């Protein structure tokens, strides 16, 4: 009898425990399973790095976006509306992880954006969206992998680099290097030599890259022109920034970019465009004079068109004109990088490439290298 009463009591106790386990929480919610923090994106993935892509836009072609996540939970966000922003807008701030460690929220500097973090990608979460995969591919940014130090010289020399922005350690624009200058600032590298164009003077030096990807320059030389104060400040600011070795990082994606970071954490950020030599092979330098007026001709497809009038010019090693210019001839080809203005005569220094290497009907392909001389001619 005692055993029967004891058995009933035990069964009742187990039933109460089971009912309590299934009961709703006091706030009306259900008891959710607790995520295993050891297997969250925060702890299980190598999430630090740079992510890039073009996000959808309701009234523009897209928003070119680049997000850099750092191990100290700081971020750098670059956003450019493709049809309205001449340059990216850059913001820096901090981010926080969600309790389950799978999503992050940018602070007010990043407008509170929420992103789901995955293997090699992040996804921008619309308001109210579930922080789980899968996510719309159009809202994802893919991680970019930096080039190894051994690959840097070839990539640096294969591109012409345009400065997009320059900031100090606090993320503020560097004095003398505004986001938009009267002329674009370009860096170029070739056979161990380095050149800067876009300030007042052309600056040049040798360069080296060590095994860790640090970029250092020999003593800088420059031309000695005097310019407006803004252009002189560009030269001074760049000379100061390049005086010490810089950490370099090249990322190849939809756009190839170069980031140079100094010892004080000042940063120069560039986009790269492949040089004509990288695209077409070895070039021959030629000079061509373009008349102020065009003439009727047949284009490469045999249709009626307006063509340039050109004639060959020759210059010696000192830049002096030699020989007699040839006869004016119609020129049905295009010159990459050159736009003709009616009434303006130009002497051009061109890079001429054998088109057989890249395909096409005409024997040569021409790319503008330099406008040697320009003059307005009256009709």
CA-nearest of 49, 243, 220, 70 to 141 is 49
CA-nearest of 59, 109, 49 to 79 is 109
Measured between alpha carbons, how far is 91 from 77 in angstroms, rounded to an integer?
A: 5
Q: Do 161 and 194 touch, CB atoms closer than 8 A?
A: no
CA-nearest of 277, 246, 273 to 257 is 273
Q: Do 194 and 238 touch, CB atoms closer than 8 A?
A: no
Q: Do 153 and 193 touch, CB atoms closer than 8 A?
A: no
Cα 309 off chain centre by: 38
- Catalogue all structural domains in the chain, each as residue range(s) with its CATH number: 43-144 (2.40.128.640), 149-274 (2.40.128.270), 279-376 (no CATH)
Q: What is the pTM of this model?
A: 0.76
CA dihedral over 8, 11, 17, 19, signed as positive or negative:
negative
pLDDT reported for residue 32: 41
Angle at 104 between CA 60 and CA 80, to 5 degrees: 25
CA distances to 143, 153, 197, 216, 251 from 66, rounded to whole Å, are 10, 24, 26, 27, 11
Give the pLDDT of the chain (379 residues) as one tens digit per residue. Answer: 444 444 344 434 433 333 333 333 333 444 444 455 567 999 999 999 999 999 999 889 999 999 999 999 999 999 999 988 887 888 999 999 999 999 999 999 999 999 999 999 999 999 888 999 999 999 999 999 999 999 999 999 999 999 998 988 888 888 888 655 567 899 999 999 999 998 899 999 999 999 999 999 999 999 988 888 888 889 999 999 999 999 999 998 778 999 999 999 999 999 999 999 999 999 999 999 999 999 998 876 778 889 999 999 998 887 788 888 889 999 988 899 999 999 999 999 999 999 876 666 678 999 999 999 999 988 7
Cα 120 off chain centre by: 19
pLDDT reported for residue 298: 82
The neighbouring-strand residues paired with 297 are 305
């Amino acid at each position: 009898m005692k055993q029967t009463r004891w058995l009933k009591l035990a069964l009742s106790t187990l039933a109460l425990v089971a009912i309590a386990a299934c009961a709703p929480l006091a706030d009306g919610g259900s008891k959710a399973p607790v995520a295993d923090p050891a297997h969250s994106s925060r702890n299980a993935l190598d999430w630090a790095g740079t992510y890039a892509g073009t996000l959808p836009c309701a009234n523009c072609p897209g928003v070119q976006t680049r997000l850099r996540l750092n191990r100290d939970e700081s971020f750098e966000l670059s956003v450019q509306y493709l049809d309205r922003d001449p340059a990216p807008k850059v913001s820096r701030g901090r981010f926080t992880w969600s309790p389950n460690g799978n999503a992050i929220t940018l602070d007010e500097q990043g407008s509170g954006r929420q992103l789901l973090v995955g293997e090699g990608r992040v996804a921008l979460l619309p308001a109210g969206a579930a922080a789980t995969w899968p996510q719309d591919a159009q809202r994802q940014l893919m991680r970019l992998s930096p080039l190894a130090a051994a690959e840097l010289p070839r990539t640096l020399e294969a591109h012409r680099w345009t400065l997009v922005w320059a900031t100090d350690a606090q993320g503020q624009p560097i004095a003398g290097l505004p986001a938009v200058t009267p002329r674009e600032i370009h860096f170029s590298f070739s056979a161990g030599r380095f050149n800067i164009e876009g300030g007042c003077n052309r600056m040049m030096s040798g360069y080296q890259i060590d095994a860790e990807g640090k970029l250092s320059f020999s003593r800088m030389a420059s031309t000695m022109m005097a310019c407006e104060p803004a252009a002189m400040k560009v030269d001074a600011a760049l000379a100061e920034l390049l005086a010490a070795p810089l950490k370099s990082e090249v990322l190849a994606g939809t756009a190839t970019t170069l980031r140079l970071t100094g010892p004080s954490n000042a940063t120069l950020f560039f986009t790269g465009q492949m040089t004509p030599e990288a695209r077409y092979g070895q070039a021959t330098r030629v000079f061509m004079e373009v008349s102020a007026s065009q003439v009727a001709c047949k284009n490469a497809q045999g249709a009626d068109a307006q063509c340039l009038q050109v004639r060959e010019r020759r210059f010696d090693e000192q830049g002096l004109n030699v020989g007699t210019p040839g006869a004016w001839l119609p020129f049905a080809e295009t010159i990459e990088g050159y736009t003709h203005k009616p009434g303006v005569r130009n002497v051009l220094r061109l890079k001429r490439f054998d088109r057989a290497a890249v395909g096409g009907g005409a024997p040569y392909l021409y790319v503008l290298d330099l406008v040697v001389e320009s003059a307005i001619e009256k009709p």
